[in-house]
Amino acid sequence: MSVHPVDEKLPAPRMAATGLQHVAAMYAGVVAPPLIVGAAIGLSASELTFLTGACLFTAGIATLLQTLGIWKIGARLPFVNGVTFAGVAPMTAIVASTDDKSDALPVIFGAVIVAGLLGFLVAPFFSKAVRFFPPVVTGTVITLIGISLLPVAFGWAQGPSPAASDYGSTTNLGLAAVTLLIVLLLRRFTRGFVKQIAVLLGLVAGTLVAIPFGVTDFSPVADADIIGFPTPFHFGAPQFQLAAIISMCVVMVVSMTESTADMLALGEIVGRPADEKTIAAGLRADTLGSAVSPLFNGFMCSAFAQNVGLVAMTKIRSRYVVAVGGGFLVLMGLFPMAASLIAVVPRPVLGGAGIVLFGSVAASGIQTLVRAGLDKDNNVLIVAVSLAVGIVPITEPEFYRSFPETAKIVLDSGISTGCLAAVALNLIFNHLGGRGSDARDVTHPMEAGEEIGGANRAPATP
């Protein structure tokens, strides 16, 4: 009996090389959230290194759980899990609303634990309700994730701290521009593995360029232990605050939606379509990994879409390859010196690479929206209003200043508000009540009856 390519075990050298390639494709995405949240809290370099290593460790555990599976947990597909970008904006909002910054991480961890456990319980039901999260919703949310994170990249490009004298200096902006240029050149003129790790190579090159300017600090590597372990509850016991829990539950819905979409896409790519049972098992792995992650000081875990693209490009469909990648992530989390390397990278260099990284997330959302049926007027309205609602906290940070602090944790996250708006509007326009001609006809959102593309217009009178 032949073995399906998903269950194929490749020779060890090839398994290791291709597993490392998956790590390379996702590494920058895993370490970005702890960098953002840690900087918002004001963690020291050593604490930031610890948090980064913990996120690598927990991403590895979640990936192993997803690929190898136990019981009814795990999609058993070449499915990579890591820290979700969707949680960054709500987590930074939680940090901003916490008076004592030392309590910020315990509050975040408590909220993630609850959201993960609730997500685990509703996973089989969510897999049935996937029809309420079509591409018009997921595309809007993914786009908002990228848009919400781009200001972070712009802040990094200017320097480590707004209070610093060189913040926004030509040197810092120049380093960001050089890093961005290096990444773009690598993406344009290289192939295969080098092209996949263009962001990482850009970070390395940008850091080397920055050395003569005196903005590269190697002390985190010198101070880091060679071997370590992400001690449970290193930053304190979890704290449970209702507003933070609600905010992270919204993120969990977003995360489960993204993972479902990625499983459907991956199933088609590897020739093993993801049915309702597979989706439920995959979501259980996502949510259980998220619930366990805070125990080891990690954040919420979700699918990494860039690795789905890597499977499609390489045609290597073995889930064991990705499991090996998960093992590498665990090992990297156990070696703080390896994790500390990212702390050496100057913020302007991170900013240049972040523009590509976060912009790619937004572009991925736009690609999803293209397939969402924007020839339908209802979908145009859903996207238009949801994006507008989600962009409010980005363009006008004080827009909700009159609301209670607990409500602002959710409202100040463009991803959360945009997601809620997209789900609600999709239900109103595409599910509740009868679907009239507006659901089918292509009309301009402001002028009923005027078609966007003009494809169905009566010919003009000569």
Q: Which two tokens stand for residue 248?
A: 């992270």
pLDDT in tens, 296-338: 999 998 887 667 766 766 677 888 999 998 998 898 888 877 6
The single-letter DSSP state of residue 399 is T
Listed residue (407, 47, 18) closest to 223, CA to CA: 47
Distance (Å, whole) CA 14 – CA 433: 55
Distance (Å, whole) CA 258 – CA 107: 24
b/e sequence 294-315, b meaning 16+ C-beta within 10 Å: bebbbbbbbbbbbbbbbbeeee
Distance (Å, whole) CA 57 – CA 34: 13
Distance (Å, whole) CA 62 – CA 290: 8
Distance (Å, whole) CA 415 – CA 255: 11
Q: What is the pTM of this model?
A: 0.67
Distance (Å, whole) CA 70 – CA 38: 33
Residue 399 has phi, psi (to 5 degrees) of -60, -40
Degrees to nearest 5, angle at CA 24 with 187 and 188: 5
Q: Domain extents for the chain?
A: 5-439
pLDDT number for residue 223: 67
Strand runs (DSSP E) across 68-157, as ranges? 81-83
- Do the Cβ atoms of 75 and 285 come closer than 8 Å? yes
CA 244 to mean position of chain CA atoms: 19
Q: Which two tokens stand for residue 322?
A: 């990705």
Give pLDDT tens digits along the chain (462 positions): 677 888 888 888 778 877 877 787 677 678 878 888 988 888 887 788 888 889 999 999 999 999 998 888 988 888 888 888 778 878 888 888 887 888 889 999 999 999 999 999 999 888 887 677 788 887 887 788 778 878 888 988 998 777 778 888 999 999 999 999 998 998 888 876 677 667 778 888 998 999 998 888 777 677 667 777 788 888 989 999 888 898 888 888 878 877 887 787 787 778 887 788 889 999 999 999 999 999 999 999 888 766 776 676 667 788 899 999 899 889 888 887 766 666 678 889 888 888 887 787 788 778 878 877 787 778 899 999 999 999 998 888 888 888 876 677 678 777 778 888 988 999 898 877 655 444 444 444 444 334 444 444 444 433
Residue 301 β-bridge partners: 83
- 10: buried, middle or exposed (CB in 10 Å: 19+, 13-18, 0-12)? middle
pLDDT number for residue 187: 83
Q: Which two tokens stand for residue 53?
A: 């290593």
